[in-house]
Amino acid sequence: MTDPVFLTELPTTPAVGDVVPLAGEEGHHAAVVRRIRAGEVVVLSDGAGRGVRGEVVEVSKKGLAVRVDEVLDAPEPPVRWILAQALAKGGHDEQAIDMVTQAGVAEVVPWQSARAIVRWSGDKAAKGAEKWRRTVREAAKQSRRLRVPDVHDVVGTAELALLVAEADAAYVLHESAEVWLADAGVPDHGSVLLVVGPEGGIAPDELDTLVAAGATAVLVSDGVLRASSAGIVGLAQAQALAGR
């Protein structure tokens, strides 16, 4: 089994032999909930690609102290994968971002699409985004990633179109598309944005807006996928096509 990962602030230049504390909520979780004990090996990460691996040398109810045996670094991959996920009921959107985080997505964009039943506004928007951030943090730890995906604030279709225009390539997963993702020419570097609509489908005017901004509508399956599974299916195919 690989060593468990916990997120914390790290020294600017951690070195072998340093003792790094894990405190706060994450430290309490490690010591009390996960029951990590002295002598076990863990990884501490700042969530931005830096980490240290080492032996736990002290445990209290407030956290751990870890002696650094190895300094870790996860460089940025050549492709920065971005998922724009439409809000969905029943937790399907959270399932989607959990899975793509495990698979290596770098950014997640909550999209308030026209046909989404779930609506984020006011305080609900802030709470929803924070819930998504917790979801990707836990998924990153579960998959032993040193990089936690960035979660944007919720966007509407006009704002999503701006993100499409900024990306090096953008694809809207759509059941009525005439081009398969495999034939769309996924690049092997730069930023690649995948857009997944709600289970009610992307409204025609929304699709027109995204395509006008530079996106390509593509197929990734013979059938219609759930909002919870479309993102991971599309991401896995795109990564394979990019040569990952």
pLDDT interval class at 200 (50, 70, 90): confident
Q: Is the pLDDT of residue 122 over 90?
A: no
Task: Return the residue matching tokens 């195919």.
Answer: 237
**Looking at residue 208, which CATH number applies to its domain?**
3.40.1280.10
46, 73, 100 — which closes off a domain? 73
Expressed as residue numbers, the domain containing 223 is 79-242
Spatial separation of the C-alpha atoms in residues 65 and 63, rounded to whole Å = 7
Q: What is the dihedral of CA 122, 112, 152, 134, to 10 degrees?
A: 80
Task: State whether 106 and 159 are in the same domain.
Answer: yes
pTM: 0.92
Q: What percentage of the chain carries pLDDT values higher than 70?
A: 99
DSSP secondary structure code for residue 153 in this structure: P
DSSP E strands in the chain: the ranges are 5-7, 19-22, 41-45, 50-60, 63-73, 79-86, 107-111, 150-151, 169-173, 190-196, 216-218
pLDDT interval class at 45 (50, 70, 90): very high
Q: Is the pLDDT of residue 123 over 90?
A: no
